[in-house]
Structure 1
Amino acid sequence: MVQHLKFYIDGSWVEPSQAKTRTVINPANEQALYDIALGNADDVNKAVVAARRAFESFSQTTREERIALLTRIIEVYKTRAKDLGAAVSDEMGAPLAFAEKMQVGAGLGHIVATLGVLKDYAFEETIGNAEVVREPIGVVGMITPWNWPLNQIACKVAPALAAGCTMVLKPSEYTPSCALIFAEILHEAGVPAGVFNLINGMGPDVGAAMSEHPGIDMMSFTGSTRAGIDVAQRSAPTVKRVSQELGGKSPNIILDDADFQKAVSGGVAHVFLNSGQSCNAPTRMLVPQSRMDEVMAIAKAVAGKTKAGDPRADDTQMGPVVNETQWHKIQCLIAKGIEEGATLVAGGPGRPEGYSAGYLVRPTIFGNVRNDMTIAREEVFGPVLVIIGYADDEDAIRMANDTPYGLAGYVSGGDKDRVRAVARRLRAGNINLNGVPNERTAPFGGYKQSGNGREWGRFGLEEYLEVKAIAGFN
């Protein structure tokens, strides 16, 4: 068993300050993969000291120097794509082909997009007699999740580098090795010592120490709303900027003039993507009540064709969820849906047939769901879709917005003006119309308890910049 017992601090692989480890489990077979070292406040402080020292010089680099750096990172990243894909598949259970194409590709896509933004971004502008200058905010603490690990690491690290910031990253303890490979990529690409630092550890130890540290100027967090609240509270005494991308319970409104076969099938497939472990998954499908039976039949057919199984098998479309805790949470919510009287259309409790180990969940669909049921209110974070009937467009919009979350929304219909009108009334940060995927250069982030701040493209870069007005400059 290969162990991962060092941290990347100040350009070197260093021993942790304590001999404390955690075993990473393969969710497909429940077998141990390796141990990782767990950091503490002392490790965080060492990394912050290195990052603050590096900031003095890295913040003064030119646009051209940072363009060259991101270009080298892209080149090295491509050479490690297979390693990254295998790590993601082993650690969080994504089917290998999906991990290599989508998980690894998402990380690369954000670095490439950031490079494009950096080439043209206006860091200075004249307003009256003042020069308005956008400067790097300083040292950034980053906490990233396990569900799209490379996507979230890249969409934080790349714009921070582009802005001239230095950083300390705590990746998820469930997906640490792909983050360690990412650190190796940055090292090989020539990121200066101290600019990027990585510490593995648990949220109450490393995450809390980062949030509270006076030497960190900003916290960028992706994860649950509960943990995001904790990060914000711990960050408040030092008045650091906090950017958060949190949970979701996204509505998918299918209007009565939509292509139902396409819209329903696409919506179901989207929920099952990544085993349902996406914060923006369209997990509440809102359909005309009069067509509930038709929708349930289409959805059931899609579920029946969705193969859940071994991530390394060629025919697997859906791997396990990430860990035992998550598996049990999903099972409890499926049981709750049955208890509360929703119609079980497909799937249900337990593992798929033929599996007695691994954290596999049956692709599950509930119909005739009310918007006040537990499965319509709580984020399941698994392959569970609820179908809710509505009376008319106003009813659909009301129920879509009746949630504490506001990360994403989806609308399908034949009349483009009507689809646009519904989209404008949804209280969420990202709306997708007629199955069109997200635009990587447009902002990503949520309303309400889905977070604050934005990632991706120009908006992601600006999260890492302070604005200075120099009056009398011109």
Structure 2
Amino acid sequence: MGNRDLQFYIDGAWVDPVTPRRFDVIDPATDQAFAQISMGSATDVDLAVAAATRAFASFSRSSRADRIALLHRIAAEYRKRQDDLARAVSREMGAPIWFAQERHVVMGLSHIEKMAEILSWFPFEDPRGASMVTKEAIGVAALITPWNWPLNQVTCKVAPAIGAGCTMILKPAEQSPLSAIIFAEIMEAAGTPPGVFNLVNGDGASVGAALSRHPGVDMVSFTGSTHAGIQVAKAAADTVKRVHQELGGKSANILLPDVDLEDAVTKGVAGCYLNSGQSCVAPSRMFVHRDQYDEALRHAKTAAESYVVGMQDDAATRLGPVASRMQYDKIQGLIESGIAEGARLIAGGPGRPEGRDAGCFVRPTIFADVTPEMRIAREEIFGPVLSILPYDDVDSVIDEANATVYGLAAYVQSKDLALARNVAGRMRAGNIYINYPPVSADMPFGGFKQSGNGRECAEFGLEEFLEIKGIRGYGIVENQ
């Protein structure tokens, strides 16, 4: 990486931090630093907010066609940097290089392309007789993004902010900042007007808190843990700004008795282990009918033991390291709690996989005999750890699946589509997946309960960055 790692992008220029303070970026496969970034302060935030405020006056009035053209230029520059982005993501948060290329980078691009498409038809004006309802940019937006899907979360916030006509300050997770720095270079190369997009690196206690409480920020879009989201909301409350949150999850995966059990269990394990288990929608609680429970455990054990855990650049690797030492320690603590509370290990367990003496590598783990009160059944683990629970009938499993403070996602597997739809309709979650459908950028993403508020992706994400204005008498001309 270059000198820009130590700079911020503010008002269309790369600038040094007001107060120099460096932070090591760690490769989780080695636990060694491989780059350094600068950490920002409230003063850097002030400069970025001032730039965004100046730019808002003109950018908020830009034409639909101009914003579509800008999104197309961003997408074109993004494609040129796909290899750079994949290498950055792989190194900074541990994704295997093939997975960074095929999923992380591709998903990021999909949000930009989808937003350009949506802008071609989105109704910003709604005439109602002699009145008009308009949807206009809310203002300066603070975008605070996580380390687990860095490009996906950056683009599913930046793209709708651009589409709405908002200006913005991005604060990526300090653990995965390098892909965001490359993204800032993409925004610059695309000819984004100065001040429309700004990047300030830093941690939550400094830059995140300063953005959340800043009187010049009109909206905070935050993705991260529920605990951190509560802190953002509290900091934002004094200025009554809009707070949009995508938070934690503990998603249920209900396998109804008519499924092809081996296929459903194998896919369920794959869903839980996706991105080394570091997904807020991970189906980490698998519910299997009691009559099929022992067979399901056999299939789950076989599936878990097929996963190759290894270095990011090894083509055979299916699971890289988890993103940080802190995350590794948290996962190990929860695995130990499962054993202590009486759950039965079917696969994996504490410690690193065989042959891995260093790095944040986690053994692909399956627990049986899990009860709802256990920590592994209640808390978001964010690692390759699956709990399998038995159920007796559909009504009881729906109640148990819904018995969580979270409500981000739920999964239903069945050959009976009518039954699957009925179960989906009874789930208290914002995203329901029936029979492992393909990934799509045109569906809303967000949760119920402590999984957050608001929605991202497609026109649903665009709406979050818009304010509604009612103009009465719009079509009335008074007699002179």
Structure 1 residue aligned with 2:469? 468
- Select between 433-442 and 289-298 the one with higher mean Cα deviation: 433-442
Partners of 1:151 and 1:18 in 2: CA distance = 30
Q: CA shift at 1:205, angstroms?
A: 0.2
Structure 2 residue aligned with 1:207? 208
- SS where residue 435 of structure 1 aligns? coil
Structure 1 residue aligned with 2:478? none
Partners of 1:320 and 1:300 in 2: CA distance = 20
Structure 1 residue aligned with 2:37? 36
> Counterparts in 2 of 1:39-438, with a 5 A limit?
39-438=40-439
Q: Kindly report structure 1 stretches of 4+ aligned residues shifted beyond 6 Å.
A: none
- SS where residue 233 of structure 2 aligns? helix
Q: CA shift at 1:438, angstroms?
A: 4.1
Partners of 1:101 and 1:433 in 2: CA distance = 23
For 1:204, the aligned partner's letter is: A
Structure 2 residue aligned with 1:13? 14
Partners of 1:181 and 1:255 in 2: CA distance = 45
Partners of 1:7 and 1:414 in 2: CA distance = 52
Partners of 1:260 and 1:458 in 2: CA distance = 37
Is contact 1:432–1:438 with CA below 8 Å preserved after alignment? no
Is contact 1:308–1:318 with CA below 8 Å preserved after alignment? yes
For 2:149, the aligned partner's letter is: W
- SS where residue 120 of structure 1 aligns? coil
- SS where residue 73 of structure 2 aligns? helix
Partners of 1:414 and 1:72 in 2: CA distance = 44
Partners of 1:112 and 1:396 in 2: CA distance = 39
Partners of 2:373 and 2:9 in 1: CA distance = 47
Q: CA shift at 1:350, angstroms?
A: 0.4
1:151-185 Cα offsets, whole Å, 9 max, x none, are: 00000000100110000010000110100000000
Is contact 1:44–1:206 with CA below 8 Å preserved after alignment? yes
TM-score normalized by the length of structure 1? 0.99
For 2:104, the aligned partner's letter is: Q
Is contact 1:6–1:16 with CA below 8 Å preserved after alignment? yes
1:212-251 Cα offsets, whole Å, 9 max, x none, are: 0000000000000000000001101101000000000000
For 2:46, the aligned partner's letter is: N
Partners of 1:331 and 1:46 in 2: CA distance = 41
1:97-156 Cα offsets, whole Å, 9 max, x none, are: 100110000100111111111111010011232100110000000100000000000000
The answer for unaligned runs of 5 or more in structure 2 is 476-480
Partners of 2:470 and 2:267 in 1: CA distance = 48
Partners of 1:261 and 1:296 in 2: CA distance = 10
TM-score normalized by the length of structure 2? 0.98
For 2:141, the aligned partner's letter is: V
- SS where residue 406 of structure 1 aligns? coil
What's the % identity of the aligned pairs? 56
Partners of 1:284 and 1:438 in 2: CA distance = 20
- SS where residue 231 of structure 2 aligns? helix
- SS where residue 287 of structure 1 aligns? strand
Partners of 1:438 and 1:209 in 2: CA distance = 35
For 1:298, the aligned partner's letter is: H
For 1:157, the aligned partner's letter is: V
Is contact 1:363–1:384 with CA below 8 Å preserved after alignment? yes
Partners of 1:69 and 1:325 in 2: CA distance = 39
Partners of 1:97 and 1:148 in 2: CA distance = 15
Matched residue count: 474
Q: CA shift at 1:437, angstroms?
A: 3.3
Partners of 1:113 and 1:331 in 2: CA distance = 39
Partners of 2:439 and 2:341 in 1: CA distance = 34
Q: CA shift at 1:439, angstroms?
A: 3.1
Partners of 2:347 and 2:396 in 1: CA distance = 26
Partners of 2:213 and 2:122 in 1: CA distance = 32
Partners of 2:228 and 2:32 in 1: CA distance = 28
1:187-231 Cα offsets, whole Å, 9 max, x none, are: 000000000000000100000000000000000000000000000
Is contact 1:292–1:367 with CA below 8 Å preserved after alignment? no
CA RMSD of aligned residues (A): 0.8
Q: CA shift at 1:75, angstroms?
A: 0.6
